[in-house]
Structure 1
């Protein structure tokens, strides 16, 4: 019996697409190519996921799990013979518990859907990123997503209380509890968070919720030096009493890119400063928090940390500020962007970026470099725009300039997007040989046939 027929018998005729049907579907929201594979399964429940994996395990079929296809490191790429397991039909938010402040949801729920569902309960799910409308909770967990508010709430790992996971052989591992404190042996969920679908398929999650903030204050500031940027982070965090929720950095060229045509954004302040910072504070007292936020900015001016700043006076202003930061599509205008996601100590950022800017002309020739990111937690995004026709030839040369210097201060080649296929050659920059060997041992133990998302993160031993 062929794969498509077998899977249709397991989960239904309309729940499995054949190779011709799936070839009409895009391989990712940022990509022009189409999916490749032998079959695409669309289960609705954990039991159906388990039945698909059990059959694939018995017949030696490779399986690649897909969520919202918003990744940037080719972590969900497939080959013609693969079975694609899409969780797009698993979109039920099962429980929202205001007393325990947790939510239970299937893995295919889009991030934004959960954010909106908890709002009427006076709660918030603080993970937030530009692809919120498409990225799924299961994908967020599988890649340990970060986003805009890591400085206050941490990565996705900090927000997951329980998981239900299907192992490669179809066995279901379920630990769906709402406990923040649970030291009863190994915390197995952390094996699967950040594993990029190589160890198991996350099908359901219990997620921690927070009380929704009652105040929201934002400003966009221009600064004359990177020393002032670092000092401003410490100053605002110290003066806002734990309410600083975002500290986003934008280098001048990126700020100009998103505030001039064809971009829709308009500059709240002049575009002449070398650095810009987007500041956000969330609190519980609208009047007092606004006063404290403005006093903190005033004292930063008095200390010579700020050159200029615009303060948001409404939620509309806040949305406009965030729109500037999130308008990363502008890096696609006029060429092909090689996009990078790294983390490094804040003290090393200025020297690192300056060194990269100095090295790129000789290494790759004509290009444009834009830098922005979640500076408060050490995460920078880089886009190196090159001519479309030269992109694949220049990619390895650009990667060398971006990744190799990180080894000197134990920076990470992936702050929040994962490794996938794209960063696999550079994993040793951030992980020691012993660490990679242990990763391989875990993969071998849980997936001895190497069927689940094969070839991602590292090669088999």
Structure 2
């Protein structure tokens, strides 16, 4: 039971002793902003929100919460889509927003040491000012935090070239549920000194510990990006095009595929003009990053001309300026508006083997349309890495949403895919985890959770 916040509370007193009065907030008008993330999980205003300002304060906060048996939900930028940062009744919200310092940018070694609450877009801007580049990029770049990106192993638009967040993290510092601060701030790429413990925490969604600082790997800064939007005659053409692009375009950094239903919805939401004279079943948005703008564009145009001759591309637009590129990306980046417009919705972030993707899309669209003929069912994604997004809505009831989830996740299991490619499990997908993980795997994850957090204080009920 949540203590009466109007009465003296030894738990609150212990927190304020360590954090100070200003960092322990019980004002409902402030706490309401921490009632949920971007997911459809039921919002719940926490009774207490704490704002530690140092990694040490995070660790001590966890120790106090463990001592008083108070459960904690960890919050970053609250941009998650799996409900992992949405409080449950009685939980203390631990916000990392004050851990927002970029501590060091190593311009020689190409690394950055940052606190977990640093906003992704701020990090991108700062490292670019130093002549480097951090390639992780998401639609939520202006709000999401780098610690949360690591906690869910975020992928984004450029995984095809740079990998996921797991590939970009060299070292971590983690506050454990018992109050220990575990420093693993490795700064080198090669390090074979036993078990690499950071991988326990990357992708574990804050269930094992709270990431407080990171050492991330930077890349050489590209001088330019070349972008093209292509009309394709079929999904088969898309698979052949991405295979050839990976072989012939060394600068390939993004390959986004959007089915026609998505493009129609995107144009309606953002009042965008049709990019081409006639509709096509599938569209591909390609990007290359390099240092020679004229050479990169010439290479991309030559590649597309050859693809046109072979029937893989029906038409294409190659951006001639940054403004052109932004206009082409605008179709893909309407996702946030679509999510708002189609509420209540079921949004899926699944991993599907490339060889099975067309069959998965066709059969899933058919099944959804048959059962829910009055809703929209949209398909798009980063097919170069097998990450497909499905958006279905608006739906009338929680029962219908559950039916949609069950239908899609069963279809994912049937093709040997993953129910979550980059957004995590949280609470929204927890009951469907068995479609992607065996009973033995889930049991072992539970054993690890019990070892590090025997009292079940930290992000309880997420994933497991």
Task: Give TM-score, length-normalised by structure 2.
Answer: 0.95
> What is the match of residue 165 of structure 1?
174
> What is the match of residue 6 of structure 2?
none
Select the residue among 289, 301, 315 that pairs with 2:296: 289
Q: Is the 8 A contact 1:62 1:81 kept in 2?
A: yes
How many residue pairs get aligned? The number is 454
1:191 aligned to 2:200? Answer: yes
Q: 1:408: how far off?
A: 2.2
Q: Is the 8 A contact 1:168 1:452 kept in 2?
A: yes
Q: 1:164: how far off?
A: 0.4
Task: Kindly report which structure 2 residues correspond to 1:142-157, keeping only aligned pairs within 5 A, or say none.
Answer: 142-157=151-166
> What is the match of residue 322 of structure 2?
315
1:56 aligned to 2:56? Answer: no
1:407 aligned to 2:416? Answer: no
1:209 aligned to 2:215? Answer: no
Q: Secondary structure at the match of 2:32?
A: coil
Runs of 4 or more off by more than 6 Å in structure 1?
Answer: none
Task: Kindly report which structure 2 residues correspond to 1:349-360, keeping only aligned pairs within 5 A, or say none.
Answer: 349-360=357-368
> What is the match of residue 325 of structure 1?
332
Q: 1:26: how far off?
A: 4.6
Q: Distance in 2 between matches of 1:304 and 1:340?
A: 31
Q: Is the 8 A contact 1:42 1:85 kept in 2?
A: yes
Q: 1:114: how far off?
A: 0.2
Deviation by residue 1:177-206 (Cα, 9 ceiling, x = unmatched): 211111100000000000000000000000
Q: Is the 8 A contact 2:36 2:86 kept in 1?
A: no
Q: Is the 8 A contact 1:25 1:35 kept in 2?
A: no
Q: 1:287: how far off?
A: 2.2
Select the residue among 430, 437, 462 that pairs with 1:424: 430
1:375 aligned to 2:383? Answer: yes
Q: 1:105: how far off?
A: 0.6
Q: Is the 8 A contact 1:252 1:271 kept in 2?
A: no
Q: 1:267: how far off?
A: 2.8
Q: Is the 8 A contact 2:349 2:389 kept in 1?
A: yes
Q: Secondary structure at the match of 1:199?
A: coil
Q: Is the 8 A contact 2:81 2:423 kept in 1?
A: yes
Q: Is the 8 A contact 2:11 2:64 kept in 1?
A: no
Q: 1:244: how far off?
A: 0.7
Q: 1:19: how far off?
A: 6.0
1:447 aligned to 2:456? Answer: no
> What is the match of residue 259 of structure 2?
251
1:118 aligned to 2:124? Answer: no
Q: Distance in 2 between matches of 1:85 and 1:13?
A: 15
Q: 1:362 to 1:287 in 2, by over 3 A?
A: closer
Q: 1:42: how far off?
A: 0.1
Q: 1:206 to 1:275 in 2, by over 3 A?
A: same
Task: Give TM-score, length-normalised by structure 1.
Answer: 0.95
Stretches of structure 2 that go unaligned for 5 or more consecutive residues are 1-8
1:279 aligned to 2:286? Answer: yes
Q: Is the 8 A contact 2:152 2:424 kept in 1?
A: yes
Q: Secondary structure at the match of 1:411?
A: coil
Q: 1:296 to 1:31 in 2, by over 3 A?
A: closer
Stretches of structure 1 that go unaligned for 5 or more consecutive residues are none
Q: 1:428: how far off?
A: 1.0
Q: 1:118: how far off?
A: 0.7
Deviates most, 354-363 or 143-152: 354-363
1:457 aligned to 2:463? Answer: yes
1:3 aligned to 2:11? Answer: yes
Q: Secondary structure at the match of 2:117?
A: coil
Q: Is the 8 A contact 2:382 2:388 kept in 1?
A: yes
Q: 1:77 to 1:34 in 2, by over 3 A?
A: closer
Q: Distance in 1 between matches of 2:83 and 2:323?
A: 35
Q: 1:405: how far off?
A: 1.5
Q: Distance in 2 between matches of 1:425 and 1:303?
A: 46
Select the residue among 93, 103, 109 that pairs with 2:118: 109
Q: CA RMSD in A?
A: 1.6
